[in-house]
Structure 1
């Protein structure tokens, strides 16, 4: 039988905790919007191609937020009045009718702007009715702004006359319906109910909106069971990220940033207090959540942002994890640190092997950054069939290149499973359909999983790991700049205050559990990702505000007044990062 090149395609599904505490308001809608667009479509592609294998990685805070949305929508569906069970997500509440259209200009403009949050060339402009509605409302807002510059000052709470043409409540109901229709995945748009809503185009009634809510509920409630069924059938492997998506090496010690960024300034504070214990807490809590949702312990862990270090690998080994993965530059830095100066390192052949840190059992895989970034950033501009053919052709070239050693090679392609598709035609439907078909039928490659590979491929041992992430091989996306370091300094100070209260035995068991969960939210990586001047002001402001709200919530749980500095922005942004800043390319 012909030897084949092993290829692992790993999709990372992750959203940070957008809710204000465990029972508060959702500040951003990305969990449910990506749920109805990307998580549903990605499951459908795998169901349509049973010969295609993949690894699908979930962060537990994403899974738990999906649960929260499903539970609230379930209660909404069962209520006799649409006002009976309010929803925690403001945008979803407007769609459901549990919240009224705002009555003042500032809030109306904010709702209008919220419904612009998508890639317009793919999600607004293809729908003439939606596009025209957006343009007409924008024209009205511009006219009001020209006539009265202070009209949208949120402090004045300016009322708006109901007869202002173009800003009637019905226009906003239509706007919110269209926004959600645009966010529906390709796999949901073929139903009769959805087609009828698209064809109606305007004057959507409460019954129409309720019907759309039912579609959203059915989609969200099916996500976790569908992926579990795919895993139970053996088609895919499900893997885990530590609970709230923290950067484990940085929680453990800030010194882990120095191998890849020796000149970058560290935060002006001590290491994160009891950071190793907190990293282990995220692992334990994450495994519990994974077992609850999928019925078993994961074989592999994608450490948040592929952030690896020697102490992180030691932790994974302690938990019996068989594999983890990171980026190509971490591999290069690690090869240099171990003085591995062979021809196979220079020509990248050695990239396609698993590695093992000393005698620890956890294998490390390193992604091919070029192949991964082709999907993440380039193929959205290509014809779908041509892009899929090009990708498979690259894999065939690698198979020829590695030659007789092909059975011991594993090509790792790892990227976000939700953020790229907004930039593709039809949410990437035709590209992924062609890609899965060509990959599963190619005679030169074997699509597989990391867990299966770990049992059959011999790992190369290394004595040292140069700590870093899949973004540039460093941690500079989360630390080492003024704004990012300031955020760490605030977090360290808050943790010290929490530890002081806990050590005084001032909290009950239930209060300690709530404090742990809130602390985990504050430890998530996404706050630090967005700080800096290369991201848009809008995104930075969203995450800056929510991070400070979460820290303030932490202080309320220990009955302390939040420090004054939490009332002021940490970062203001101002850049124009590619793909709205949600992803970083490495080539």
Structure 2
């Protein structure tokens, strides 16, 4: 006799959304070079909070990188200060929206027009006929090489207002009466209209972190953290770890990143400190940058008091094969693991009084990539039905559904502009269906770690969620050159730090951390779009130069020159997201 469905243990489902942006602040100019922090905040971060607020039974993990937290706080302070007449806005795009007098310099105006064309045309332009007309005329001017003074001040104002209206979250457009009025107006926006829109932006920026804090306080969301500036910890700790999953890799000239273990620990400790200040609690879990893990990384996270960490499914596959633990029909990604022999994990007693076992969870790449790359072109109801059906099939294959943890881990910000209405119909439908499901339980990684028995993992092959390797960040000529430039700067740091005053040393450590971010290396490589490669080449050299200047050391000549091949590719979704598998 079959067991009634209501009596079967539920399979746990964890939706983990990773929110992350690198530091776009240019220390040389005092401005933010790119606007993606505040644009994603007013669109994706507020929408993702609103969807969770709307379904009280829903549960999820939301991961924040500390450099993103700091930039959100800074933008909030900027807007509040500007509206009070006390502070200059430090983002050129936001400043152009807010200040009554538009820039009259042709280069500045052309840059503003080009920025307003950096938008998903299908999802964020075509739904708004008034915006569509402005964009088409702007593109005509660009194609025909016309001077931007062909575009009147009123045209520029309307273009700037519409760009920001398009970047607002769908929940904001539906609920805020000020925004609804501006959408109906369509054109001829005034200084008052622009100020009102800036007030909306300021309220969203000022309230978004507090919304997540309240969700966490109510037990509906688990907040987790990434090490401070989003570095690939295993590569800081040991560059040679890249060979574990890719033995034939061509590594940079530097054989190791001197002092890397100390730097990894600094990022972890500073990340926890920044997180605690923002959310009033210590994080229980860590999504290491890009799911980058190694034995040394997991040991560091366990020593730092984390209860769980997560990575990609290909890392688990590589590790099980290396340990001869592989079984083709085993639902291997849908369990918790502990690494044998690691501090505080199975093999070291598993009951270390100082370091409890660190539970490791691994991403289901197929499900996660379906949300990132497939469902955006589906009807929302069909996409939800397909995903829920796939989750049910996984639960059916598990010998013990009560021990199953199905992990969907993905970018929580870049996917939604490819969906109709910023993913509104998909996300709201998904939360409702999963919250009421008789066989699936929405939960968090911390709750899952407390309720399941982890499997021992005999070996861990170092890698990331992208292909199970570190190939996205090292091993290609431009990426390797960037690592050698970083290693050279680190040596200058080590020589200079003993002679620095404490407050200058603190600034230098923070600036070095920005230079150690994974994001620069992500974008280097000729398979990426030329324009983005050019921007990140420039900003990386700006950040390295700032480090030398803080140290009081003359920057090397090569920082005056671009070093990348500038990019020739046109990757899917613009390259901001990747598939978890090389054949994805």
The TM-score, its normalising length taken from structure 2, stands at 0.94
Match of 1:71 in 2: 77
Tell me by how many angstroms 1:78 deviates: 1.5
Q: How many residues of Structure 1 are paired with residues of Structure 2 in the alignment? A: 559
Find 1:377's aligned residue among 368, 373, 378: 373
Q: Structure 2: where are the runs of 5+ without partners?
A: 1-6, 346-356
Find 2:306's aligned residue among 313, 317, 321: 321
Q: Does 1:102 align with 2:103?
A: yes
* Whole-angstrom CA distance in 1 between matches of 2:19 and 2:29: 23
Tell me by how many angstroms 1:134 deviates: 1.5
Tell me by how many angstroms 1:348 deviates: 4.1
Find 1:429's aligned residue among 412, 421, 424: 424
- Pairwise mapping of residues 290-329 of structure 1 onto structure 2 (< 5 A)? 290-329=275-314
Say whether the 8 Å CA contact 2:28–2:546 is kept in structure 1.
no
Say whether the 8 Å CA contact 2:240–2:255 is kept in structure 1.
no
**C-alpha offsets along residues 35-94 of structure 1, whole Å, 9 cap, x if unaligned?**
000000000000001101000000000010000000011111222xxxx63201010000
Find 2:168's aligned residue among 173, 180, 184: 184
Match of 2:405 in 1: 410
Match of 1:40 in 2: 46
Say whether the 8 Å CA contact 1:21–1:518 is kept in structure 2.
no
* Whole-angstrom CA distance in 2 between matches of 1:336 and 1:570: 38
Q: Secondary structure at the match of 1:576?
A: coil
* Whole-angstrom CA distance in 1 between matches of 2:112 and 2:192: 21
Match of 1:517 in 2: 510
Tell me by how many angstroms 1:318 deviates: 0.6
* Whole-angstrom CA distance in 1 between matches of 2:306 and 2:118: 38
**C-alpha offsets along residues 498-519 of structure 1, whole Å, 9 cap, x if unaligned?**
10111xx321000000000100
Tell me by how many angstroms 1:2 deviates: 2.8
Say whether the 8 Å CA contact 1:352–1:412 is kept in structure 2.
yes
- Pairwise mapping of residues 350-369 of structure 1 onto structure 2 (< 5 A)? 350-359=332-341, 360=345, 361-369=357-365
Question: Cα–Cα, structure 1 residues 521 and 398, in superposed 2: closer, same or farther, change >3 Å?
Answer: same
Match of 1:4 in 2: 10
- Pairwise mapping of residues 101-500 of structure 1 onto structure 2 (< 5 A)? 101-145=102-146, 164=150, 167-190=151-174, 191-341=176-326, 345-359=327-341, 360=345, 361-403=357-399, 405-500=400-495
Match of 1:538 in 2: 531
* Whole-angstrom CA distance in 2 between matches of 1:470 and 1:348: 20
**C-alpha offsets along residues 472-523 of structure 1, whole Å, 9 cap, x if unaligned?**
0000000001000000000000000110111xx3210000000001000000
- Pairwise mapping of residues 497-512 of structure 1 onto structure 2 (< 5 A)? 497-502=492-497, 505-512=498-505
Say whether the 8 Å CA contact 2:28–2:542 is kept in structure 1.
no
**C-alpha offsets along residues 106-138 of structure 1, whole Å, 9 cap, x if unaligned?**
332221110011111001121111111121233
Question: Cα–Cα, structure 1 residues 22 and 64, in superposed 2: closer, same or farther, change >3 Å?
Answer: farther
Q: Secondary structure at the match of 1:10?
A: strand
* Whole-angstrom CA distance in 2 between matches of 1:566 and 1:269: 18
Q: Does 1:581 align with 2:575?
A: yes
Match of 1:154 in 2: none
Match of 2:353 in 1: none
Tell me by how many angstroms 1:23 deviates: 8.7
* Whole-angstrom CA distance in 2 between matches of 1:50 and 1:419: 25
Match of 1:93 in 2: 95
* Whole-angstrom CA distance in 1 between matches of 2:469 and 2:524: 16
Match of 1:560 in 2: 553
* Whole-angstrom CA distance in 2 between matches of 1:62 and 1:304: 13
Say whether the 8 Å CA contact 2:81–2:88 is kept in structure 1.
no
Tell me by how many angstroms 1:562 deviates: 1.1
Tell me by how many angstroms 1:365 deviates: 0.5
Tell me by how many angstroms 1:20 deviates: 1.5
Q: Secondary structure at the match of 1:243?
A: coil
Q: Does 1:26 align with 2:27?
A: no
Match of 1:157 in 2: none
* Whole-angstrom CA distance in 2 between matches of 1:104 and 1:425: 36
Say whether the 8 Å CA contact 1:270–1:492 is kept in structure 2.
no
Find 1:61's aligned residue among 56, 67, 70: 67
Say whether the 8 Å CA contact 2:291–2:464 is kept in structure 1.
yes
Tell me by how many angstroms 1:171 deviates: 1.1
* Whole-angstrom CA distance in 1 between matches of 2:145 and 2:506: 50
Match of 1:156 in 2: none
* Whole-angstrom CA distance in 2 between matches of 1:142 and 1:298: 50
Say whether the 8 Å CA contact 2:20–2:65 is kept in structure 1.
yes
Say whether the 8 Å CA contact 1:129–1:201 is kept in structure 2.
yes
Tell me by how many angstroms 1:574 deviates: 1.5
Tell me by how many angstroms 1:570 deviates: 2.3
Comparing 296-305 with 265-274, greater Cα deviation is found at 265-274
* Whole-angstrom CA distance in 2 between matches of 1:26 and 1:528: 20
Match of 1:570 in 2: 563
Q: Secondary structure at the match of 2:407?
A: strand
* Whole-angstrom CA distance in 1 between matches of 2:142 and 2:543: 33
Say whether the 8 Å CA contact 1:387–1:431 is kept in structure 2.
yes
Q: Structure 1: where are the runs of 5+ without partners?
A: 146-150, 152-159
